[in-house]
Structure 1
Amino acid sequence: MAAEHERTMALPALTAMVIGSMVGAGVFSLPGNFGQATGVVGAVIAWAIAGAGMLMLAFVFQILAVRRPDLNAGVYAYAKAGFGEWPGFLSAFGYWASACVGNVTYWVLIKSTLGQLFPGLGEGDTLLAVVISAVGVWAFAWLILRGVQQAAAINKIVTWAKLVPILVFVVVVLVSLDAGVFSGNLWGGPGSPGLVAQVRDTMLVTVFVFLGIEGASVYSRYSRRRRDVGRATVLGFLSVLALFASVTLLSYGILPRGELADLRQPSMGGVLSAAAGSWGSAFISVGLIISVLGAYLAWTLMAAEVLFVAAADRDMPTFLSRQNAAEAPVAAIVLSSALTTVVLLTTLFSDDAFTFTLKLCSSLSLVPYLLAAAYSLKLAVTRETYRDDPAPRTRHLLIAGLAVLYTAFLIWAAGLDFLLLSCIIYAPGTILFALTRREQGRRVFSAPEAALFLLILAGAAVGVVLLATRALTI
């Protein structure tokens, strides 16, 4: 068995995990996604809201890592500790499902990128693209099954390697920025909706690119020092926020908003080509593939970790706690890869596979984030963990309250369609909860839990009917 210090992560590794989790497919699609939604002013407001809101969430995870150092796999554990087993299960399942759906966006974007050279891959949603992606899913599962620590070390290397093309993009576009084009994009151009609508349309995009902010918290049981969890979260977030805002805003100085909106994904490639020549698209394509594969590895690790810890705590079926000789959670990794493969198949029927999976991934993440923020607020309100250290309570109360408001705002911004689609995924996931309770010889639901389940089931039923009648499309 490896020595204890070889099985733990120091601050640089945890920070790399946070950055690696967030810098994935999203950053390479930002110019096009923001071009479809808003102009410069709307983008500045959107990043200000998202930056402030996500910073509050980053502080929440930092606070909880210190206040409840006994809780591992943060997002799931905080929901359970604060609100009970059923909400805890929903948080764990939603976080896991969000990660699996997010992983599909990575494969769609890779195949869309390669589709410029191989037309059979289309926009990443053809049968050939799905088959190749499925092979990739299981190849990564094999890699992770060889050992979590080995995979995390690979992720650290890939994290720094993939930042190079993004930084090159920022420098080249900054030098090439056209002030006239930038000023013409200030308010979004003719025919743009109102500013509030523009900002709202960007919210799920900003959530998607910031997914992974809790990366260090999820891997808290591997941290060398507990205080490094919070530090890594904040350091990683601030670095990524500056990078994302730069990529978005500088792109408005290269192409008119309408042309940004029409760019093929990855839209960063189109912007760099317009600024510096045809080599730009190829350069960004290579960077994207490296970045996305690294992010895919990080997200698969985190998804499996949540299932494994939940099963070890007897909040998921016990088979999910099985490990192989390399101490990798084999059943959790296999189940994660299986769900990713199933979602890949749905892209064959989607009108816009990348946008659909991006927004569904973001929507599924909102419940886990809301419950974590609400638990931090509950600790401050009830003074739990503050009796021997009351000094920071007021500040923590403000941070948690703002984080709750922000995540509630995101649920509103996501809209009813994606709330119903989320219910369609949550409802069958309840089977795992039922299996867990049956293993323990307990009733599946208490009365309040049954009421919440019926509400989710009703939302799923409405969603299925709307999908069947094409009133709701994917």
Structure 2
Amino acid sequence: MSDTKSRAHSVNLWSLVALIIGSTVGAGIFSLPQNIASVAAPGAMLIGWVIAGVGMLSVAFVFQILAHRKPHLDSGVYAYVRAGLGDFIGFAAGWGYWLGSVVAQVGYATLFFNTVGHYVPIFSADHQWTSAIAVSLLSWAIFAVLARGVRQASVMNFITTAAKLLPILAFIVLTAFVGFTWDKFTLDFWGDSTGLTVMQQVQGIMLFTVWVFIGVEGASVYSANARIRADVSRATIIGFFSVLVLLVAVSTLSYGVLTQEELANLPDNSMASVLEAVVGPWGGAFISFGLCLSVLGAYVSWQMLCAEPIVMMSVDELLPRAVGKTNAAGAPWVAQLISTATIQLFIIIFYLNETSYLVMVQLATIMYLLPYIFSALYLLLLAVRGQGLAHPHAGTKFDLSGPEVGAGENRRHLYIGVIAFIYSLWLIYAANPVYVLLGALAVLPGLLPYVGTRLAKKEKVFNAFEWFIVALVIVGSIAGLWGLKTGALTL
């Protein structure tokens, strides 16, 4: 008994910090200089990072607080949304998180082959279909491996984490001491030449800042295994600010090497191009190698993990039970097959339309926002009324009680929930409307298996609040399709 207990509480402070950094620092940081410069000057960039820092830290604390207040909810981040706002809202959040991961997979692979294409011309932008075929083969090969129950080894996690951090740290040191010039950084500091106001520029970078922070809630997932419960809060703060320093340093130093216009015209792996401008071709090759190894390792992990939301929803009977079916090796092969087939569908759609990595990032981020905004709303409901909304299932209680919370602590939770909720709403407002409407369109197909599952179980499908959300999804989907058809909306 004591041995089991010691293993269950074996994750120390620095392991939790490593989990946050490892899960948050991914492919996004390598394309950050170009992404930020495409919409903002240095002054607006710094304001944007202040807003993102406060907002994303509040989001991280939302998940940590919910993990403490509702320790029995262990079906992923969507479980909080389901418990607080009902089955359909929980389903929509889980479905959105799943599709966001699918779109992100295509984005990761696109960035990988675009980087390889700089050195191997057959994968360059002039050979889109070569890259599309390569991405498809990679996805199906990984599916074949995952279907056998093989999991990424810890040594691979260490290698890919080192592959991410070493080039980033080298980039920061070299650009800071060799390439950075104050005159270039302050040139058109507020972006007067862009014709955009400072707040328009800040608005433009918001989704990019969320994209590079995905995974910051990682410590809360392991809170039950923490050696000391207070380490979860400490790890969240240490890990968050460590990541924030890396992100701000990369984006800030880049403006001191190249002008905003030069940065905006760089390829997707823009960090490599910036370092190449500082130390020559070897710098770009060094960053590119780190990016490729990092993305390739992460691609395997995320293809495995992106099936988890639909597996969990199948276990919770929001999707047909067959979706969560496992094989003799213990792998959820049906969910993996569905996810890989969906990745293949998006590969075809994106490459037929010559969709850029930038577009994939923004669409994926909108989908990830669903569990963020609804989880913040659940925390607000807990702080104000002590429970979530009623579920369609009469007599079934999902919002189970947790540890007692004092008045002062509850008030602190309320403040954090308010900040996270307002920040999440601001992100929706700041996004290009086309991504919001395409997000609604992406949720729409999920209605078919969800409603079918409900009817098969002879259960009430929607309550009044859920009908309202369904109506918004349908109206948004129609508006998105009409806008794309008429040209009123463009990617």
Contact 2:147 2:333 in 1 (8 A): yes
Match of 1:393 in 2: 410
Counterpart of 1:166 in structure 2 is: 168
Cα displacement string for residues 82-130 of structure 1 (whole angstroms, at most 9, x for unaligned residues): 1110101011101111111111110111111112123332339811101
> 1:99-248 counterparts in 2 under 5 A?
99-123=101-125, 126-147=128-149, 150=152, 154-176=156-178, 177-188=180-191, 190-217=193-220, 223=225, 227=229, 232-248=235-251
1:49 to 44, 48, 51: 51
Corresponding position of 2:262: 259
Residues 367-376 or 139-148, more deviating: 139-148
State the alpha-carbon separation in 1 of the partners of residues 22 and 301 from structure 2. 7
Whole-Å Cα distance in 2 between the matches of residues 352 and 313 of structure 1? Answer: 35
Corresponding letter in the other structure for 1:253? G
How far apart in 2 are the matches of 1:434 and 1:206?
35
Q: TM (normalized to structure 2)? A: 0.88
Alignment root-mean-square deviation, CA = 2.6
5 Å-filtered alignment, 1:384-463, equals 385=402, 387=404, 389-463=406-480
What residue number does 2:77 align with?
A: 75
| CA positional deviation for 1:150 | 4.1
- C-alpha distance in structure 2 between counterparts of 1:275 and 1:431, whole Å: 53
Corresponding residue of 2:339: 336
- Residues 22 and 39 (structure 1), Cα distance of their counterparts in 2 relative to 1, 3 Å cut: same
Amino acid at match of 2:490: T
Aligned in 2, Cα 1:226/1:351: closer, same or farther, shift over 3 Å? farther
Whether contact under 8 Å (2:68, 2:403) holds in the other structure is no
Q: 1:141 to 1:369 in 2, by over 3 A?
A: same
Moved over 6 A (4+): 3-9
Taking the aligned partners of 1:272 and 1:189, their CA distance within structure 2 comes to 27
Task: Give the CA deviation at 1:244.
Answer: 0.7
Q: 2:307 is paired with a residue of what secondary structure?
A: helix
Tell me how many residue pairs correspond in the alignment: 471
Moved more, 358-367 or 305-314: 305-314
SS at match of 2:194: coil
Contact 1:316 1:432 in 2 (8 A): yes
Tell me by how many angstroms 1:408 deviates.
0.5
Alpha-carbon distance in structure 2 between the residues aligned to 1:327 and 1:35: 45
Q: Does 1:378 align with 2:395?
A: no
Post-superposition Cα deviations, 1:198-253, rounded to whole Å, max 9, x if no partner, equal: 111101111111112234445778x4669466655444322211111110001111
How much does 1:151 deviate? 5.1
CA shift in 2, pair 1:237/1:148, >3 Å: farther
**Change in CA separation of 1:373 and 1:226 when aligned onto 2, cut-off 3 Å:** farther
- Further displaced range: 325-334 or 412-421: 325-334
SS at match of 1:187: coil
- Is the 8 Å Cα contact of residues 112 and 124 (structure 1) preserved in structure 2? no
The answer to whether structure 1 residue 469 and structure 2 residue 486 are counterparts is yes
Aligned twin of 1:10: 11
Instruction: For residue 392 of structure 1, give the secondary structure of its aligned residue in structure 2.
Output: helix
Question: Residue 19 of structure 2 contacts residue 218 of structure 2 at CA under 8 Å; is this kept in 1?
Answer: yes
Of 277, 282, 287, the residue aligned with 1:279 is: 282
Q: 1:409 to 1:403 in 2, by over 3 A?
A: same
Partners of 1:69 and 1:226 within 8 A in 2: no
The Cα offsets for residues 144-186 of structure 1, whole Å up to 9 and x where unpaired, read as 3444754566334422332111111111101121121112152
Q: Deviations over 1:327-378 (max 9, x none)?
A: 3322222222221221111222335421110110111112211001111121
- Residue aligning to 2:305: 302
- CA distance in 1 between counterparts of 2:15 and 2:299 reads 17
Q: TM-score, normalised by structure 1?
A: 0.91
Aligned partners of 2:472, 2:194: CA distance in 1, in Å? Answer: 39
- Find out whether 1:38 has 2:40 as its counterpart: yes
* Contact 1:74–1:217 (8 Å) recurs in 2: no
Kindly tell me: are residues 399 and 124 of structure 1, through their superposed partners in 2, closer, same or farther at Cα, counting changes over 3 Å?
A: farther
What is the identity, as a one-letter code, of the residue corresponding to 2:131? A
Distance 2:418 2:308 in 1: 28
Distance in 2, matches of 1:125 and 1:463, equals 30
Q: Secondary structure at the match of 1:210?
A: coil
Unaligned runs of 5+ in 1: none
Q: Distance in 1 between matches of 2:80 and 2:234?
A: 18
Give 1:467 shift: 2.0
**CA shift for structure 1 position 300:** 2.8
1:290 maps to which residue?
A: 293
Letter in 2 for 1:160: A
Kept in 2: contact 1:125–1:348 (CA 8 A): no
Q: Is the Cα contact below 8 Å between 1:72 and 1:217 reproduced in 2?
A: no
Deviations 1:54-78 (A, max 9, x none): 0001111111111111111342100
Q: How many angstroms apart in 1 are the aligned matches of 2:234 and 2:151?
A: 21
**Counterparts of 1:322-333 in structure 2 under 5 Å?**
322-333=325-336
CA contact (8 A) 1:148 1:327 kept: no
Cα 1:7–1:392 shift into 2, 3 Å: closer
Alpha-carbon separation, structure 2, partners of 1:8 and 1:272:
42
Cα 1:215/1:334, change in 2 over 3 Å = farther
| In structure 2, distance between residues paired with 1:124 and 1:137 | 22
Task: Judge conservation of contact 1:58–1:234 (CA < 8 Å) in 2.
Answer: no
Q: Deviations over 1:288-330 (max 9, x none)?
A: 1122223333433432222222211212221122223343322
Q: 1:89 aligns with which of 91, 104, 126?
A: 91
Deviating more after overlay: 157-166 vs 435-444: 435-444
Residue 201 of structure 1 aligns with an amino acid whose one-letter code is: G
What letter matches 2:25 in structure 1?
V
The separation in 1 between residues aligned to 2:234 and 2:325, in whole angstroms, is 31
Q: Distance in 2 between matches of 1:14 and 1:150?
A: 19
When residues 230 and 434 of structure 1 are mapped into structure 2, their CA distance, relative to the original with a 3 A threshold, is: farther
Does 1:23 find its partner at 2:40? no
- Report if aligned partners of 1:386, 1:393 keep a CA contact under 8 Å in 2: no
User: CA 1:332–1:237 in 2, change beyond 3 Å: closer, same or farther?
Assistant: farther
> What is the correspondence of 1:59-70 to structure 2 with a 5 Å cutoff?
59-70=61-72
Shift of 1:429: 1.4
Contact kept? 1:41, 1:187, Cα under 8 Å: yes
